[in-house]
Chains A and B, each alone.
Chain A
């Protein structure tokens, strides 16, 4: 399956990218947390630090979700820091 990843604000800056597409094994029950761990092991500690930070938020298809939510083919998964608008 494939997922579209998006990063915002401090996380986007730290990782040096705002958007990537990932091809993932269909045999795994993917969740945002597993995805973050996978990216940390592929791309290094910086990714782990940013994506697995306790206050990092996650959205799937533009709805805030728990990091243990199961992902589906074609999902848009976003990681971002606590919001500061207004």
Chain B
């Protein structure tokens, strides 16, 4: 009898424990929150998309305004054809290079026309190749001599005071 009474009290108490009432208009607040968040989400996407698109367009424009990379001038040749005056391709820059920007070179050092001395040497080689070869051979022989190193002799250190003791 007592156990049944306790069960009844407990069941009633449990119902009361869970039967809490929210403030009025809970459904309205929930739906309002959901709709406001949905509207925010739309603007949120726009707010993200616009800067990203602007960055993409900016990057594209910047890449298009980059100077056109020309083929580098060929290296100096020792053949007769190389004797012809070097004609550098004329590059018409699309825009003025900004001050302080380091130019990007395809070949370093930049090829330059032969100097007067270089041209004279080349002419000499072409006219009298045998003499040039002999001269070159002499230079090479004189250059490739083995290095002579004298034997190093290090005398043992003698400390007079120590020996006396």
Q: Do A and B interact?
A: no
Interface of B toward A, CB cutoff 8 Å: none
